Amino acid sequence: MSSPETPLLRIRVFGQMRAQDALGRSVLPRARKTRALLAILALAAPEPVLRSQITALLWSQREKEQARASLRQAVHELQDTLGSLASRMIVAERNHVGLHRAGLWVDARAAGPLGHEEGGLLDLFRAPLLEDLAGLDPAFDRWVQEERLRLLRVARTLGEGMLAGALDAAERIAAAERLLLVDRAHEGAWTALIRVHAERGDRTAALACFERCRAALAETTHLVPSAAIQTLVAELRATAPAPVPNSAAGTVSASAGAPEVASPGAPRGPLSPARPNAVRLGIMPFRAPEGDVDPKLTQGLTEEVVGALARFRGLSCIPISSIAVLPTDLTRDAPLWEQLGLDYALEGSVQRSGDRVRVRARLIDVWAAGEVVWADRFGGAIGDMFDLQDEVAAAIVAQIDPHILLRQGERLGARRIRATTAHERLLQSIPAIYRLERNGFFTAGGLLDSAVAEDPGNAPAHAWYAYWHLFLVGQGWANDLRAATMRAAELAGRAVTLDPGDARALTLAGHVRAFLAREPEEACTLHQRAVALNPNLALARCFFGLAQCYRGRPEDGLPLIEQSIRLSPYDPHMFFFEMSLSMPHLLRGEYEKAAEAGRRAIELNPGFSSSYKGHLCALGHLGREEEAAKVRAALLRLEPGFSVAEAVDRSPLVRREDRARYAEGLRRAGLLD
């Protein structure tokens, strides 16, 4: 019989999940979702978890009743697997499920502030969290990522405390190395490691640590060590009998501790990106008046923004610590930022009034001498700090990404230079796709065709070219509808094959599948994956919502499209978002709302013919003949000869009753059969 100190149930969630009883026998359930249930309960223990929360994580794609039944089955399997332990460990109530604390040991909770093994949590990060349970459900994958980030923050704080409390050289070295297990780019740990070796007189070890630091930063953040570290190493080398050459790109002034500024037009300096196609975005720590706002709020907000932006494939974010020495007046000192290899910089401030917080943020174009290309403000209640950080960070990054993408393309076009690389051709095509002016649109198609021919491994180029074909068909500009549809499907499939982790490519491919191939079920799978990879990609939520409408579930599509608009209210794609919003309202019989959304879409982009079709259908159902006549005339100018039969033939709606509703509205609006 086990002693009182021996855990009845030991669960390991880092690496391959394991569960053992007091005798070391495996009690890990066979079914992966039952294992996931056990992991959720273990990380929440001793707090119970609502059954609705569990079903939302593990069966997010099922109907509620099906999901509840699946959870009941999983709980029964868990009870059967644990055997006699079940009655002592599991709490299964009507509305929640949990694990008792007594007798439970979980590796992630036994380490750090929740247990007694102070350094244990740092060592755990050698392995991924629940690595054998990836891909169970998009919602569960997001939860695992959030849990890992939460534990990472705890581990980093623990490691920093251990380093600060280390008394002798050996303890400091051990603490620094342990902290680097968690965060390979932690410059405080690298500084301590280099300094302690230098203080011990071991220059060789100190310089070796510097080389390790440089390699780690280059691999994880594409940066070089900070000015403080380079100054420390420069002083160390100055006392060495045989200085070791410094191969870092760019130099640092030891006296000033700041990067030297080259003459205009000089090659980009120390922060030059390792990937030439990535946009370099510097993130300044969010500022607040001293004593006005909890520093944890501003620090956490900055970290959330960096983490959220890191999900966008085309952006490389500069970690907070690497720009801590830079000036905060971005506009005045833009030449310095440019020399440091940045394309854009983001800065923000936080103010508090009572229990309300206001966050201001702005995006600076370094190449345009500090021009502000985007600015907005956000507010919220300070009640739940983490929720506030998440919401504000999501809103900021969702708006920044499309502005940068469009800005990069417009910059190339404004220079009137010939794009020389596949990536430049891709960027130059995007503004024309947004504008939908016929001549520019076909020029964009030529650029994309050249891009995929020159770089057959470029996933974004294939995805955008597939998207171009979608508009080609949607606008009625395709001479051969079948050939254009097949080409779009081919390009979309190739984009996903080339980079299954690119959220934008996935959702563009999904929309092609839904709109042209009329496969909304398959499209929803791609959109779910895209949203899981990047929850703040507004376009993915919009496409996901449309796919739900196409498959006959407008009640599921409406909130997704509304989320895309809330995420990025000034998106260059807003005309598309508003057009999309009319779809679920139309299918739900909410014709006033559908007509209003259609009107807004037309105002934002009068050249987008799809906006007229939904708007015209809604007006037909509302019986507004005079207004419908004007809209019908404008539609026929864009697509001469467009008819009800053609509308139904090209419609992606799969339910017969939805197509009938669409056709009837167009007929009532005066469109010929």
353: CATH: 3.40.50.10070
Judge contact between 425 and 450, C-beta under 8 A. Answer: yes
How remote is the C-alpha of 201 from its chain's centroid?
Answer: 45
- pLDDT of 121 reads 55
Whether residues 120 and 221 share a domain: the answer is no
Block residue for tokens 């993130």 = 283
Whether residues 238 and 286 share a domain: the answer is no
Whether residues 225 and 312 share a domain: the answer is no
DSSP-assigned states of every residue in 280-294 = EEEEPPPB--TTTS-
Whether residues 388 and 308 share a domain: the answer is yes
Whether residues 14 and 145 share a domain: the answer is yes
Series of mean pLDDT values for 10-residue runs along the chain (673 residues): 67 91 92 95 90 93 91 95 94 92 84 43 71 88 86 75 78 86 85 89 85 84 79 76 35 31 33 52 80 76 80 68 49 53 82 84 79 83 76 84 80 59 84 85 91 86 88 87 85 80 83 85 86 86 94 93 89 88 94 93 89 92 92 91 90 91 93 87
CATH at residue 647 = 1.25.40.10
> Is the backbone of residue 289 left (phi > 0), alpha (psi -120 to 50) or beta?
beta
Whether residues 33 and 121 share a domain: the answer is yes
Judge contact between 366 and 336, C-beta under 8 A. Answer: no
- pLDDT of 597 reads 92
Does any domain span residue 176?
Answer: no
Nearest CA to 402 out of 225, 572, 266 is that of 572
Residue 10 pairs in a beta bridge with 20, 105
Does any domain span residue 544?
Answer: no
Whether residues 117 and 210 share a domain: the answer is no
Does any domain span residue 270?
Answer: no
What does residue 286 show for φ and ψ, rounded to 5 degrees? -65, 135
Using CA atoms, how far apart are residues 240 and 222, in angstroms rounded to an integer? 29
Whether residues 233 and 284 share a domain: the answer is no
Q: What is the DSSP letter of 243?
A: P
Q: Which domain holds residue 669?
A: 572-673
State both tokens at 107.
């590796």
The answer to whether the pTM exceeds 0.75 is no
Nearest CA to 228 out of 305, 326, 154, 86 is that of 326
What does residue 543 show for φ and ψ, rounded to 5 degrees? -60, -40
- pLDDT of 36 reads 96
What does residue 418 show for φ and ψ, rounded to 5 degrees? -80, 125
Nearest CA to 34 out of 52, 10, 17 is that of 17
- pLDDT of 247 reads 31
Whether residues 115 and 224 share a domain: the answer is no
Judge contact between 198 and 187, C-beta under 8 A. Answer: no
- pLDDT of 234 reads 83
Does any domain span residue 532?
Answer: no
What does residue 364 show for φ and ψ, rounded to 5 degrees? -110, 130
Q: Could you tell me the CA-to-CA distances from 529 to 62, 153, 193, 526, 536 in Å, in that order?
A: 16, 26, 41, 5, 13
Whether residues 215 and 132 share a domain: the answer is no
Using CA atoms, how far apart are residues 201 and 204, in angstroms rounded to an integer? 9
Using CA atoms, how far apart are residues 601 and 589, in angstroms rounded to an integer? 19
Alpha helices in 518-624 (DSSP H): 520-533, 538-550, 554-567, 574-587, 591-604, 609-622
Q: Determine the length of the chain.
A: 673
Does any domain span residue 303?
Answer: yes
From 149, 182, 207, the end of a domain falls on 149
Does any domain span residue 218?
Answer: yes
Nearest CA to 581 out of 597, 592, 596 is that of 597
Nearest CA to 426 out of 330, 508, 481 is that of 508
State both tokens at 129.
């969290």
Alpha helices in 416-519 (DSSP H): 422-435, 438-454, 459-474, 481-498, 503-515
From 132, 149, 166, the end of a domain falls on 149
State both tokens at 339.
């020399």
Does any domain span residue 255?
Answer: no
CATH at residue 35 = 1.10.10.10
Using CA atoms, how far apart are residues 412 and 66, in angstroms rounded to an integer? 52
Residue 18 pairs in a beta bridge with 12
- Give the 3-state secondary structure percentages of the chain, helix then strand then coil, rounded to 5: 60, 10, 30
Three-class secondary structure assignment of 291-343: CCCCHHHHHHHHHHHHHHHCCCCCEEEECHHHHCCCCCCCCCCHHHHHHCCCC
Whether residues 236 and 283 share a domain: the answer is no
Q: For 423-428, which contacts have Cβ atoms below 8 Å and span 24 or more sequence positions?
A: 423/276, 423/277, 423/451, 423/455, 423/458, 423/461, 425/450, 425/451, 425/454, 425/461, 426/451, 426/458, 426/460, 426/461, 426/464
Nearest CA to 517 out of 476, 479, 551, 560 is that of 551
- pLDDT of 257 reads 33
Whether residues 227 and 134 share a domain: the answer is no
Using CA atoms, how far apart are residues 350 and 378, in angstroms rounded to an integer? 10
What does residue 467 show for φ and ψ, rounded to 5 degrees? -65, -40
Using CA atoms, how far apart are residues 23 and 6, in angstroms rounded to an integer? 9
- pLDDT of 331 reads 52
Q: What residues have CB less than 8 Å from 36, skipping those under 6 apart?
A: 57, 58, 130, 133, 136, 140
Whether the bond into 46 is cis, omega within 30 of 0: yes
Using CA atoms, how far apart are residues 476 and 613, in angstroms rounded to an integer? 12
From 394, 414, 434, the end of a domain falls on 414
Sheet strand arrangement including 49-50: 49-50, 96-99, 90-92
Does any domain span residue 446?
Answer: no
Q: How many domains in the chain?
A: 4
What does residue 490 show for φ and ψ, rounded to 5 degrees? -65, -45
